[in-house]
Chains A and B, each alone.
Chain A
Amino acid sequence: MKILVALKRVVDYQVRVQVKPDGSGVAIDGVKMSINPFDEIALEEALRIRDAGKAEEVIAVTIGPQQAMQQLDSGLAMGANRGILVKTDKAIQPLTAARVLAQLVEKEQPGLVLLGKQAIDDDCNQTPQMLAALLDRPQATFASKVEIDGQSATVTREVDAGLETLSVDLPAVISTDLRLNTPRFIKLPDIMKAKSKPREVIELDSLGVESGDHLSYTRYEPPAQRQKGEMVADVPALVAALQAKGLI
């Protein structure tokens, strides 16, 4: 079995981004870029599945500018077998990403597609679901545990009510939540070993996917300043305070 993992290049989670003064976007010039943390968890899971002998190959895919090759390099140094960069200088919206991934799935025929439940830049939480729909294959989102058993996968999901476990037939799309695993650190010798791993660059335009924007952004604003907190003595006081604010 092959596993396809999608990695998105995003502003590093430790960077506190600032909205540009004119509200046209977020200032990201010169800030540190990394693999989207949820995608890193997806890659870690794929590597563990492969290393447990349940898959032969892990293919890391990223859609982005030439610089996204850095994130692909990191993915290969973590342990992916080969990498594909679908190159574009445009900001990619979820539906386009899902269409591109669907094409790669057609080509590579993986038994499993693993990707983060959302990217920490736009927090859309849409690509995995759209991809599953386009492929007409089962999906299991927000996974906190994944077990591969032959032709199916048992997935524990983090849902509002707690945990839900379901079984999906493979090939399937699984999106990962934070508690699934702790990704490994890259080892220095593996950075060198990764240099000889295959990397394929495909121009997005050459795929012929429909890539028009479906969402338009009007204005960016920083979140409102947090109001000063207030300590209350006990639970009844808390309830009273919430009621006074009309919150319950």
Chain B
Amino acid sequence: MAELASKLLSRRDLEFMLYEWLQVEALIAAPRHADHSRETFDAALDTSERIASELFAPLYQRCDQDEPQLQGDRVKVADGLKSALQAFAEAGFVAATKDYELGGMQLPTVVSHAGMAYFYAANISAAAYPLLSMANANLLLAHGSPAQIDAFVRPELEGRYYGTMCLSEPQAGSSLSDISTRADFDAESPLGAQYRVSGNKMWISAGDHELSENIVHLVLAKIPDENGRLIPGVKGISLLLVPKFLLNADGSRGERNDVSVAGLNHKMGYRGTVNCLLSFGEGRYQPGGKAGAVGYLIGPKHGGLACMFHMMNEARIGVGLAASALGYTGYLHALDYARNRPQGRALDAAGKDPTSPQRPIIEHADIKRMLLAQKAYAEGALALNLYCAHLLDQAELSESAEERQGLTLLLDILTPIAKSWPSQWCLAGNDLAIQVHGGYGYTRDYKVEQFYRDNRLNAIHEGTHGIQGLDLLGRKVTMAKGAALKLYAERVSATIARAETTPATSEHAAALSSALHRLLAVTQSLWSAGNPQLSLANASVYLEAFGHLTVAWIWLDQLCAIGAAQGDYYAGKRAAADYYYRYELPRIGPQLDLLEALDRTTLEMRDEWF
């Protein structure tokens, strides 16, 4: 059996998704990408794969074992991390999708995401630093002033500054309306309205380190109204840029701002990424001789959450992609192990001979079941995330406002799924990867246990699984009078229509079609109940059913692209799709039954009965 060329991702599969399925070469028709060709896309992927495998992957276990440490007020991270991240930035990955003028390559987002998947697969906790910086820079490019962009974004794109997002507080995680960090107006400055920020931010990834010259914190805080009162609810939230070091007039690094680490969090996984409780304006430093951390207002006053969603939506797709990549690399590790581990014999006559050599475990049906499940999850999840990235490209390039709005709506409704589904099912895949390894998988001699621990975060941060369910059912399916759901249903129906006409896919098309109609009917009846509390009681179940249906659609759409193509690669795709339609899609039947019945079990359960 062929040796795997790489245990990070399958390049063959990436090429199928990009070129045969999504046909991203068509993006070259847009003036923005006119200088590109498949050759330049491939060259960018080559460089990603190379830096990921030569510099990121070798540090994977070290980042886990050498957790960040607080030494005085300095945070020390694993050796080698700095140079790996520097190589990433120097190769131009932070700026990959940006204008030539900004040092970028004007690479389509979908190709850049495909390249990023290599880094996530190789070392997720190292790649989290640039993931955050890139989303941070994108937010500033969309909402910052030219002066703010020059001062902070350019160095971020060069990899000299890293970015964070500071939303959560100890008492306010899912419920951001309850944040208590405040910002008081200080003065006008060349970098915009200047405020003094004070408060605590919990769980801040990349919150402090010496990997970069400066750190650009994007902080949600409340600005008091004219009467000096903090406005309750999300309407009072503003967005401030708080750098770790202030800048001198010439842009060079100046005085230390009053942002400091109050403590590090010791995590289950993702350990290479520093995660800390940050204090703003606590008084350790006195920038400009005054109390409070200096922050510059980004976007409109009291309009901070909307700006932050820019970063959050991008980060959510990034999280989904990272979860997919972890699922993918786990699958390839399990596949490699299963091909090389002899254990047991076949259940046929030949296997009855105890003197015959043991057979590789990949020959056991149960092992193939676990590998097929992982393949179906990982490839389905990666395809879904690349599909979303491709929508981003299409929306950005579209010349029709109407079309752009439609693509954006579609992306809005897919975002909670692109984030949650891989976080749940690629974790399940990592669980199976451990199982395939048997006892060896439970030791730290193999990477699969770390994949599992690392991937476990993805259902928690960037909006928990429960919050994504509420977002999907409570907001996304009803927004714009159900327009997003309608567009979604149209896309799924178009795939069904294509698949129906071919005998090879017509059975799956029929299954998907009936699942879609049921989902739409159930959505209707959920919202006819006239009781939001009841409708939303099982929002997570809805999210899971919607997600499973979505990935079934993505699989069928890929089968349509494959057509009658022959060979092992395509046979594998068909087998994984069959697995998905036989083992996975049927799971949603009972979920939809429960939703349709407006089940009250959870709602009526009482605290005192536990």
Contact = CB atoms under 8 A, between A and B. Distances in A.
Interface in B92-127: 92-93, 95-96, 100, 103-107
A63 B117 CA distance: 34
B100 A189 contact: yes
B51 A185 contact: yes
Interface stretch (B3-11, B203-211, B220-228): B3-11
Contact of B47 (A12, A186, A192): A186
A74 interface: yes
A18 B91 contact: no
B599 interface: no
A26 interface: no
A31 B39 CA distance: 16
Interface residues of A, number: 21
B18 to A, nearest CB: 16
B405 interface: no
Nearest to A31: B5
Given A14-B6, A32-B5, A191-B105, A185 B87 contact: yes
A28 B47 CA distance: 22
B46 interface: yes
Given A192-B105, A195-B35, A186 B3 contact: no
B105 A189 contact: yes
B50 interface: yes
Contacts of B103: 189
A137 B108 CA distance: 49
Contacts of A74: 43, 46
Contacts of B107: 188
Contacts of A187: 47, 90-92
A186 B104 contact: no
B5 A189 contact: no
Contacts of A31: 5
Contact of B104 (A73, A189, A195): A189
B44 interface: yes
Contact of A192 (B11, B53, B95, B100): B100
A185 B5 contact: no
Most central of A18, A77, A191, A195 by chain B CB within 10 Å = A191
B47 A185 contact: yes
Q: For the side of the interface on B, what is the size category?
A: 20 to 34
A184 B51 CA distance: 10
Nearest to A195: B35
Interface in B59-114: 87, 90-93, 95-96, 100, 103-107
Contacts of B50: 185
Most central of B11, B42, B92 by chain A CB within 10 Å = B92
A195 B34 CA distance: 12
A191 B44 contact: yes
A30 interface: yes
B11 A32 contact: yes
B12 interface: yes
Contacts of B47: 185-188, 191
Contacts of B2: 18
A165 interface: no
Given A74-B43, A77-B43, A188 B105 contact: yes
B428 to A, nearest CB: 29
Given A192-B100, A195-B40, A186 B46 contact: yes
A164 B305 CA distance: 67
A186 B49 CA distance: 12
B43 A191 contact: yes
A100 B11 CA distance: 34
Interface in A190-216: 190-192, 195
B40 A30 contact: no
A171 to B, nearest CB: 32
Contacts, number: 62
A191 B107 CA distance: 11
A248 interface: no
A74 B42 CA distance: 11
B44 A188 contact: yes
B4 to A, nearest CB: 9
Given A18-B2, A74-B43, A77-B43, A188 B35 contact: no
A185 B100 contact: no
A177 B53 CA distance: 22
Interface in A87-141: none
Given A18-B2, A18-B3, A188 B93 contact: yes
Interface in B491-519: none
B91 A188 contact: yes
B312 to A, nearest CB: 26
Contacts of A32: 5, 11
A191 B5 contact: no
B40 A70 contact: no
B11 A186 contact: no
Contact of A14 (B5, B46, B90, B91): B5
A187 B96 CA distance: 10
A16 interface: yes
Contacts of A192: 35, 40, 100, 105-106
Interface in A140-196: 185-192, 195
A94 B63 CA distance: 45
A190 to B, nearest CB: 8
Contacts of A185: 47, 50-51, 87, 90-91
Contacts of A244: none
Nearest to B107: A188
A15 interface: yes
B39 A70 contact: yes
Contacts of B44: 188, 191
A191 B42 CA distance: 10
B39 A73 contact: yes
Given A18-B3, A74-B46, A186-B46, A191 B40 contact: yes
Contacts of B105: 188-189, 191-192
Contacts of A77: 43
Nearest to A12: B5
A189 B93 CA distance: 9
Contacts of B90: 185, 187
A98 B39 CA distance: 29
A186 B95 CA distance: 14
B28 to A, nearest CB: 13
Contacts of A12: 5
Interface string A18-37: 10000000000011100000
Interface string B1-42: 011011000011000000000000000000000010001101
B43 A186 contact: yes
Query: 5 closest Cβ contacts across the A-B interface?
Result: A188-B92, A16-B3, A188-B105, A191-B43, A186-B47
Interface of A: 12, 14-16, 18, 30-32, 70, 73-74, 77, 185-192, 195
Given A14-B6, A188-B104, 4 more contacts: A74-B46, A185-B91, A188-B91, A192-B106
11 contacts: A73-B39, A185-B47, A185-B90, A186-B47, A186-B91, A187-B90, A187-B91, A188-B44, A188-B92, A189-B103, A195-B35
